[in-house]
Amino acid sequence: MKISFWGVRGSIPSPLTPMQIQAKITAVVQRITQKDIESQDSRERFIMTLPAWLYGTTGGNTPCVEVKSDDGTEIVLDAGSGLRVMGKHGNKPADNHYNLLLSHFHWDHLQGLPFFDAAYNQETTIDIYSVFPAAKRLLRDQMKRPYFPVSFDTFTKKINFHTISPAESFSIGNLKINCCKMSHPGNSYSYALTENGKKFVYATDVELSQRDFDRTSARAAVFENADCVVLDSQYTVAEAYQKENWGHSAFCYAIDFAVHWNIKSVFLFHHEPMYDDKKLNSILLAARWYAEYIEHAEIKIYLATETSEIQL
């Protein structure tokens, strides 16, 4: 399966500010030497040496992760503002069929749906899955006046809602799917997608606590021995203490959690909207250092960034 990131930011969209762009330009200029601008080749070599946080950006769109199975099934995890970008620039499924899995109904995970171009195409089919029986009403309500000028009824008529049970696995195409409830205000659900012996886990919006380390059949089905987890790591430890019960985790807790469940790789996700690219890079380095400190350097740790892809 192929996993693509279209939105990785938490809470609210946070585009680059003019000050952040100016800071990037200043940092690049300070690194340039005379040799770096002598020729086209030297200029290109210089650009290639720039760190990822300086040359690019993590992204400012709220959560949306696309999964394409080996048989071409299209699954979208959450409908944050990244869904709009996916609709503009992603590769559309040949059969115009999308499967949307929703973790919960906070605005940052829904706000992209009214701007998803494919939803207005009457040839599009969308199957929407969630644990919440009120899903249809909740999605319709966010598009009522005065909140939005276009109603939900303008969408394709081929929208089907499915209420799933956390206690039961189900399948979409070749993908077997399990889910479990996480600690988050209003509840949020994590999903494990398994195909050809590879397990991918989407675990956004979770405030990790000791009970998340307790072994239950539901948690084991989702997390145990996963190849890759996209995991909420919005805060530093100090912020996690200050924002108790806000529903998000510190990056080091995410590493502890991955170690506990024998997960091979971690993508830090749901980034704090106040963090710029330099700060997020420092968190990535700190997370890798922490894994070494607890003697688990074998875990691969990455920063979830918009337009990046994973192949499992």
pLDDT at 14 (0 to 100): 97
Peptide bond into 146 cis (omega under 30): yes
Identity of residue 268? L
Q: Using CB atoms within 10 Å of the CB of residue 183, give its burial: 0 to 12 exposed, 13 to 18 middle, 19+ buried.
A: middle
Coil, helix or strand at residue 200: strand
Relative orientation angle of helices 18-31 and 277-293, to the nearest 10 degrees: 70
pLDDT of residue 212: 87
Question: CA-to-CA distance for 208 and 106, rounded, in angstroms?
Answer: 18
100 in Cβ contact with 82 (< 8 Å)? no
134 to each of 11, 140, 163, how far by Cα in Å? 22, 10, 9
- Our separate counts of H helices and E strands in the chain read 9, 14
**Confidence (pLDDT) at 151:** 96
Q: Give the model's pLDDT for residue 211.
A: 85
pLDDT value for 244? 85
Tell the residue number behind the tokens 């430890």, with chain if given.
237
Asked whether the beta carbons of 227 and 265 are under 8 A apart, the reply is yes
User: Is 124 strand, coil or helix?
Assistant: coil
Contact 79, 135 (CB under 8 A): no
Q: Are 254 and 182 in contact (CB under 8 A)?
A: no
308: Cα within 13 Å, side-chain hemisphere: 16
For every one of its 312 residues, what pLDDT tens digit does the chain have, with 9 covering 90 and above?
999 999 999 999 999 999 999 999 999 999 999 999 999 999 999 999 999 999 999 999 999 999 999 999 999 999 999 999 999 999 999 999 999 999 999 999 999 999 999 999 999 999 999 999 999 999 999 999 999 999 999 999 999 999 999 989 999 999 999 999 998 988 999 999 999 999 999 999 999 988 889 889 999 999 999 999 999 999 988 888 888 888 889 999 999 999 999 999 999 999 999 999 999 999 999 999 999 999 999 999 999 999 999 999
Residue 126 DSSP SS3: strand
Model pTM score: 0.95
Distance CA 272, CA 287 (A): 15
Q: How many other CB atoms are there within 10 angstroms of residue 58's CB atom?
A: 25
* Structure token pair of residue 163: 């209420």
Say how far apart CA 248 and CA 87 lie, in whole Å. 28
pLDDT value for 126: 98
Work out the number of other CB atoms within 10 angstroms of the CB of residue 145: 8
CA distance 23 to 60: 17
Rounded CA gap, 235 and 62, in Å?
16
Contact at 8 Å (CB) between 149 and 129?
no
* DSSP-assigned beta bridge partners for residue 147: none
CB atoms within 10 A of CB 114: 22
Check residue 9 and give its pLDDT.
Answer: 98
